[in-house]
Amino acid sequence: MKKIYLGALSLLLSLLSAQAQDYYVYVTAESEDEVALIKFDGSDTEVVKRIPVGVWPAEIEGPHGITVAPDGKHWYLSLAHGNPLGFLYKFETGTDEKVGQTTLGLFPASMQISEANGLLFVVNFNLHGDMVPSTISVVDPESMSELKQVTVGTMPHGSRITPDGMHQYSVGMMSGELFEINTMTLEVSRILNLDTNEAIDPQMKDAQAMHEDHSQHSMGGDNAMASMSGMAHQHSATKPTWVMPHPHKPTAYVTGNGSDEILEVDLEQWKIVDRFKGGKGPYNLEISPDGSKLVVSYKSDGSTGIWDLKKKKEIARIENIRKVTHGVVISPDNKYAFISVEGIGGEPGTMEVIDLKKGKRLAYAELGKQAGGIAFWKMED
């Protein structure tokens, strides 16, 4: 009897404990110029705060990428449309007050902070027309100064860093390349052409980038020439949009938004070793901290896929409430995936919460228009 009583008490405490767990997530609304802080209590969501952001009030400035510092004390936001250079903002978590900013490149987007040196790596997506190589801005978050711009591919996206903080990965969406940057030397260490599965010499790439830098062209006749040259550029068939290294293995996963597949890249061999066909237009992906599951947003389908990485099999696909599924983060306890969905036109954006074990949506929150960047802040009892 005593045993049964203690067992029941333990179960009750466990349930109470599980119910008391709150999860906090930040989501950007790119066409609303605001960031929302959302709380999920295990069953329902609450938009705790909507934080207006921006510099030029009468224009859409496009808060796009967002990340929370490893110590959880600050969050960082990229504003895509500046004047014309975009910005990185630094906010204090809790108060959500802006405490710093710096200027970046054209259309800064996704970002992450290295655990190794504390530097922030943000891609300058450069959605501005000419198909030319763009850069990764390396920012010191403490002083909010841009230390360097590292030239990578055309329309770089998906800045993700290995757990040891030593390597940063991004993909050139239109050039179809995977880039590895040594986060300590701030140099490109390896490039992989994702269309041909061939490594590219970074020094050769540098020379090509200098050749293609149309920003050096300007007024008069050169203006016409520059635009023509830009239009003639070949676009990648793979059209990679995201990359994430596995938390425990020397493997990275890339979304082939153009080829409708997920690519598995062996980081030691530096080549694609497997391809998974999923939904249409895979865009962002995230791997659970325990390394067992991969969650991918199918942008064109408006759905989310959950993959078992051991079986290399999609185990669930969830139709999202609205169209244009965007970003993914997973809670540190591996239980939930938080998905941002942009919506179309005047529709509100949404953040959906998916139970990774059940493969089902548990709750959602309505946000500002074009919900995109998403970052997990904290779990709280």
Judged by the rule CB under 8 A, the positions of this chain that interact with other proteins are: 30-33, 52, 54, 57-60, 62, 81-85, 103, 106-107, 116-119, 126-130, 140, 142-143, 145, 147-148, 165-166, 184-186, 217-221, 223-224, 226-228, 230-231, 323-324, 342-347, 369-370
For residue 170, give the 3-state DSSP assignment: strand
Alpha-carbon distance of 370 to 30, in angstroms, equals 5
Cα separations (Å) of 341 from 49, 64, 312, 364, 374?
A: 18, 13, 25, 10, 10
Write the DSSP symbol of residue 315. Answer: E
Q: Which runs of consecutive H residues, i.e. helices, occur in the chain?
A: 2-20, 202-212, 221-231
Contact between 240 and 178 (Cβ < 8 Å): yes
Cα separations (Å) of 208 from 40, 131, 339, 380?
A: 47, 13, 37, 49
Query: Which of residues 1 and 228 has its CB atom nearest to other proteins in the complex?
Result: 228
Question: Smallest gap, in angstroms, from Cβ of residue 14 to other proteins?
Answer: 32
Question: Smallest gap, in angstroms, from Cβ of residue 23 to other proteins?
Answer: 27
Question: Smallest gap, in angstroms, from Cβ of residue 134 to other proteins?
Answer: 12
4, burial (CB in 10 Å: exposed 0-12, middle 13-18, buried 19+)? exposed
- Please confirm whether the linkage preceding 84 is cis (ω < 30° from 0): yes
Query: Which of residues 14 and 145 has its CB atom nearest to other proteins in the complex?
Result: 145
Query: Which of residues 278 and 302 has its CB atom nearest to other proteins in the complex?
Result: 302
Question: Smallest gap, in angstroms, from Cβ of residue 373 to other proteins?
Answer: 13
Question: Smallest gap, in angstroms, from Cβ of residue 174 to other proteins?
Answer: 11
Query: Which of residues 140 and 206 has its CB atom nearest to other proteins in the complex?
Result: 140
Q: What angle do CA 56, 61, 62 make, to 5 degrees?
A: 160
Query: Which of residues 129 and 250 has its CB atom nearest to other proteins in the complex?
Result: 129
Query: Which of residues 95 and 346 has its CB atom nearest to other proteins in the complex?
Result: 346
Closest CA to 334 of 353, 355, 313: 355
Query: Which of residues 217 and 292 has its CB atom nearest to other proteins in the complex?
Result: 217
Query: Which of residues 190 and 217 has its CB atom nearest to other proteins in the complex?
Result: 217
Concatenate the DSSP letters of all residues of 104-151 into one string.
EEESEEEEEE-TTT--EEEEE---SSS--EEEEEEEETTTTEEEEEEE
Q: Which residue matches tokens 């996206």?
A: 157
Strand 63-68 to strand 74-79: parallel, antiparallel, or no bridges (unpaired)? antiparallel
Alpha-carbon distance of 354 to 338, in angstroms, equals 6
